Structure 1
């Protein structure tokens, strides 16, 4: 269906398109005349989420994170907890105000409060101050899930219910840092005050939520830092106790010193052993050379005592020289011991000289020289022997020190690893704690949202619900009616449209006749008949001149307008002065126009007998049984023959012999007809029975469609 067809279809139904919206609008106005008007207030809040400044500098431009933050804020505004807290505060404020000013109960808002809460409950909830009243309201509401306040929250109350705050909306203004909060209510003062309470509750909850995000993290890191500190302190105490118990100042330096001292001692021990062996061998050689009184001299008590003393002094001197140089006064003591040893050696030499009684030995060597050599070798032997004793003792000490310090290294490394791990854990937790505290400080700085535009007191209603509802009702009625009309038009399978008729029937449309009830029907009827007659005359131009152009006018069903079409064509052709002959069945009841050359014929007989057109013309005008006789009053030189045929699905069938001689067949079909398969079968039989073209003439067509078909 084209747009023009839809427009014409709606134009035909204009009374419905006007009356239904008017009735709906009037009904809506009647039922909605007492609805309250709506006032609106809004406030704008600056968040600083996208472009604000923080401790770390400008806020990072993270699109997803920014959108998430704005979504959190807008959802927090309309959260149930926010609405519930706002209602608690509003209820507490109104209870406190009515206690101070009882005359407020005459107003609509406070009258609603008195109706929903009985006096005893109002007295129970009202405290010594507005803050105490708020606490009483919260406590009473949380005490039970079905008390008066909870029922009030779940009701349809326009002031103290969650449903009343459904008009609360929060939107992010474009790509800015601003959030706009709006609220609609029936009372302008209530609208502004409710929005102020919403702003207070929202700002407090937003700050609390953002600060609590880091509070739990800081508490966790503080606990972890304490545990890490205890672990580090324990590891350091263990290290100190271990070093103290094992006399360790610097293990690496001490172990290095022990290794170095041992290596040095090994070299000195080798050298001293060689010197001792040489001196001892020389001393023994001298002893063998000395005999008799020289040997007794060397074995005297004084020499032995002095020799023992020299041995002790050499041992002390060796110990001091090897291991006592670093001690305070070590060098002076070593010099003192050297001096004493020299004195003892000199005393031995003096004793030897004083007891000397023999100047030459038996081998011819002077005894004086042997004795001096003996004294020198004896001093070397005693000195080296003392050194060897000290060195061997020190060697054993080094070995014991090695055995003691060897396992200490592994233990110290384990303690050092424990200290290192504990220190790293401590420093890591400390860094995380510092970051969390910085984040907390940053949150405290950025969580303070700023109100740019405070809630305003609306002076004029936002909208009149009556007018809106009336307009919506009228528009809804118009849309429903128009949609219904168009839908029915789309579902209409009738033959109103010539193109649709051709598509359904498979027959061309020769002409249309307008609906007689329309105002423009006579004029359109005249034009339609004019076109049909011209169409017939054009068809007859190719026919045999000696015979009239035979046009059969039939229909599928009996009352489908074929008689009216036959009468109209006969009248119009007669008015034009066209010579014609008109025939109609004798049982059709069709009245011929006055003055027309119209005759009747026995339709049933003609069908049964299979008459030809000549037989039909010969008996036209005679009664039954006048077969073969000439028809009286036949128009001489008739140009047209308009023959009304019985209905295809009527009581009498069309004469088959006549059908084979027709030049054109018109089927009169009402435009309101729904084409059925039985109709299609009847038409197929007709087309098979006649060589003449079969075409449709639609009757009762809407004037606008008829006008389009004729233009």
Structure 2
């Protein structure tokens, strides 16, 4: 197959390829002759989604490709949502119903009259003159009453101006390249409705978009406000619990108080240790001094009077030590306490002097030699005894204070843990409160930011289209004409490739497994430009030449028996056999034609007709079918035609006897499995002499492979185009 094959194939069906496009174009022309004019308006809205400023960061928003695409998709889907479009349709209907008459910039008179004709009176009664909101509210309530009223059907069915389906099908929403702009286009058969619908769409979707954004941020702010109230109550409760705790335990500043108590305890421990050391030292010295006294001296210092004085002095010193110790620990004494302390010190001094005089009175050995030593010992004893009694009193006081410190520590120790727990509770509540407060501030900033960015800016208002859009009728006609040509062409080519007919020599040899000896053209469609008589004659010459060549090696004087058969009836074997018979007679060869059909032989030709009898398949020789008056050996060629071998019994031995067997095969039929099976028996008995095919009814174009260019009148232009398609650029008709 080459390009010439395809051109000839299309040329063969030229009538269909011409009529079909014309019919398609005519049909489209008829259907579009009353096509209404189309008006288009558009508007552009600045969104600020990708590059808008933010009061949160005081800078331009960061560019997030995925987030920006999502935001634009949300916006576009909101514009094209059913709720938005239904509201636009109902508001457009309300706008038109408020008119007393048609206005060119709102609705054409033709469309206004059509609307008034279909609106029922009960809907007209809902109109409140010069009040758009009230009328719209009435229509909206009427629409919600049931699903089968006029307004509901008008908005939800197929009215070309108010139906949500129709409006949505004519609205085109797209982002302008990679900018922050959104472009909305709308198409209508009325210029006023076209621009009016876009204006209402802008109004509705901007409000809906803003409400959605603000409602989202309001919900967040309300949530944090509620959480802050709870956090504040928790914080106040924790603080009140700490105040009550301090009040119950007389705590001003727990940590400073415990620090002060620990410091005073440390100071007291040092002081107490020093007193204890002084007490032990005084006691030790007293023991040494008493060991140096005589028994009489010991009796004197242990007399009842001396013991009473010592007890009195010890008691006074105890009181003094108590007051001094408490003043050192708990601060300065007031005036009364100071006065009492001074009186006690005076009394202690008096008791000391009295004790000293009493000791001196008890001893009268001052002037003796021993008296001098004894007086000195008594003086030392008296001094150490006073120190001992003083330290003894201080130790008693120290024990009491130590007990007080222990009680104080026992009280403050668990208070510390409780204080920590309360402080942690306050800290947690405070951090929660501050966190919620910070989140609320952030939410309010975002709320303001959303309110700022949700105010979409209409940078290009919808315009009133003055001129209608160019009609697409020419384009549709061209498309229809092209489709009318392409579809038949595709069908023709598809049928050609899917056709299982034999058609060509290559297919015949591939399907049958036999060689094609010759072809004979189909002559049903006479073409005045072709010389069919010449073509048929040349085809017969080729067949005759092939048969002559097949038998040129045989002995001279021997008869050549050629068996002609076909698998089915109507293959053309009788017609071809008679033509070959005549052709061989013209060659001057004595030819015998044996056929089962009743035909008249040309004058001077020998033709024998036989009948197919029941024993026909058992005949062993071709001579058996001839009458006694005819001898095959008297002829050069004997052509024997067999009936269709699939539907008739036939003598297989004849294939062994024949010099050649020719299978006449019609080119315009398919090769079936029955055809292949019919040849198997012949191959078994033919002893290697395989049949050859004469392909009958071949297209004239296929004959060029045997006969070359067919004799036909062609213009120089057609000859040139044909040579170009066959890549024969320098081919000439002769040597000159």
For the superposition of Structure 1 and Structure 2, which TM-score range results when normalised by the shorter chain?
0.7 to 0.9
Q: Deviations over 1:656-681 (max 9, x none)?
A: 66543433322223223333333333
Match of 1:528 among 524, 527, 539: 539
Q: 1:441 Cα deviation (Å)?
A: 3.3
Residues of 2 paired with 1:336 and 1:327: CA distance?
14
**Structure 1 residues 341 and 94: CA distance shift in structure 2, 3 A:** same
1:388 aligns with 2:395: yes
Contact 2:40 2:185 in 1 (8 A): yes
Q: How does 1:290-305 map to 2 (within 5 A)?
A: none
- Partner Cα separation in structure 2 for residue 296 and residue 677 of structure 1: 160
Is the 8 Å Cα contact of residues 607 and 656 (structure 1) preserved in structure 2?
A: no
Aligned partner of 1:322 in structure 2 is: 328
SS of the residue aligned with 1:584?
strand
Shift of 1:157: 0.6
- Alignment deviations for residues 226-256 of structure 1 (CA, whole Å, 9 cap, x no partner): 2112212221222222123322233233223
CA distance in 2, matches of 1:547, 1:293: 192
Match of 2:126, SS state, is helix
User: How many Å separate the matches in 1 of 2:192 and 2:107?
Assistant: 16
Instruction: Say which is worse superposed, 285-294 or 272-281, in terms of deviation.
Output: 285-294
**Which residue of the partner structure matches residue 45 of structure 1?**
45
Q: Distance in 2 between matches of 1:453 and 1:97?
A: 27
Distance 1:544 1:111 in 2: 104
In 1, are the aligned partners of 2:318 and 2:390 still within 8 Å (CA)? no
For residues 635-650 of structure 1, the aligned pairs below 5 Å read: 638=636, 641=637, 643-649=639-645
Alignment of 1:80-119 (within 5 A): 80-98=82-100, 107-119=109-121
Quote the Cα distance in structure 2 between the aligned partners of 1:179 and 1:206: 14
Q: Aligned pair in 2 of structure 1 residues 70, 642: CA closer, same or farther (>3 Å)?
A: farther
Secondary structure at 2:185 match in 1: strand
Q: Distance in 2 between matches of 1:432 and 1:60?
A: 22
Q: Which sits farther off after the overlay, 61-70 or 602-611?
A: 602-611
Unaligned runs of 5+ in 2: 709-736
Kindly tell me: are residues 592 and 43 of structure 1, through their superposed partners in 2, closer, same or farther at Cα, counting changes over 3 Å?
A: farther
CA pair 573-385 structure 1, distance change in 2 beyond 3 A = same
Return the match for 1:683 from 656, 679, 686. Answer: 679
Query: Cα distance, 1:91 vs. partner?
Result: 1.6
Among 193, 198, 202, which residue is 1:199 paired with? 202
Contact 1:563–1:644 at 8 Å: present in 2 too? no
Aligned to 2:694: 697
Q: 5 Å matches for 1:245-644?
A: 245-276=248-279, 282=286, 289=297, 311=317, 314-315=320-321, 318-319=324-325, 322-323=328-329, 326-327=331-332, 341=345, 345=349, 349=353, 360-361=364-365, 364-365=370-371, 376-377=383-384, 379-381=386-388, 383-462=390-469, 464=471, 466-467=473-474, 470-471=477-478, 473-518=480-525, 519=527, 520=530, 521-547=532-558, 549-573=560-584, 578-585=587-594, 587-593=596-602, 597-602=605-610, 604=612, 607=616, 610=619, 612=621, 626-627=627-628, 629=630, 638=636, 641=637, 643-644=639-640
2:156 to 154, 157, 181: 154
Q: Show structure 1 runs of 5+ residues with no match.
A: 620-625
- Which is further off, 169-178 or 344-353? 344-353
Work out whether residues 35 and 465 of structure 1, in 8 Å CA contact, stay in contact via their aligned partners in 2. Answer: no
Q: Is the 1:298–1:352 contact (alpha carbons within 8 Å) kept by the matching residues of 2?
A: no
The CA deviation at 1:564 is 1.8
CA distance in 1, matches of 2:313, 2:653: 181
Tell me if the contact between 2:104 and 2:192 (Cα under 8 Å) persists in the aligned partners: no
Paired residue for 1:218? 221
Deviation at 1:590, TM superposition (A): 3.1
Structure 1 residues 423-482: Cα deviation after superposition (integer angstroms, max 9, x where no partner): 222233233333333333333333333444443444554463655555555555545544
Q: Which residue of the partner structure matches residue 139 of structure 2?
A: 137
Kept after mapping to 2: 8 A contact 1:225/1:430: yes
Secondary structure of 2:125's counterpart equals: helix
Aligned equivalents of 1:97 and 1:338: distance in 2?
113
Q: What TM-score comes out, normalization by structure 1 length? A: 0.83
SS of structure 1 residue aligned to 2:29: helix
- Cα deviations across residues 390-409 of structure 1 (Å, max 9, x unaligned)? 33332232122122112101
RMSD over aligned CA atoms reads 4.3
* 1:581–1:205 Cα change, 3 Å: farther
Counterpart of 1:493 in 2: which secondary structure? coil
CA distance in 2, matches of 1:260, 1:444: 62
SS in 2 for 1:72: helix
Question: Do 1:562 and 1:644's aligned partners in 2 also have CA atoms closer than 8 Å?
Answer: no
Alpha-carbon distance between aligned partners in 1 of 2:356 and 2:663, rounded to the nearest angstrom: 180
Pair 1:294–1:609, CA change in 2 (3 A): closer
Count of paired positions: 691
SS in 2 for 1:600: strand
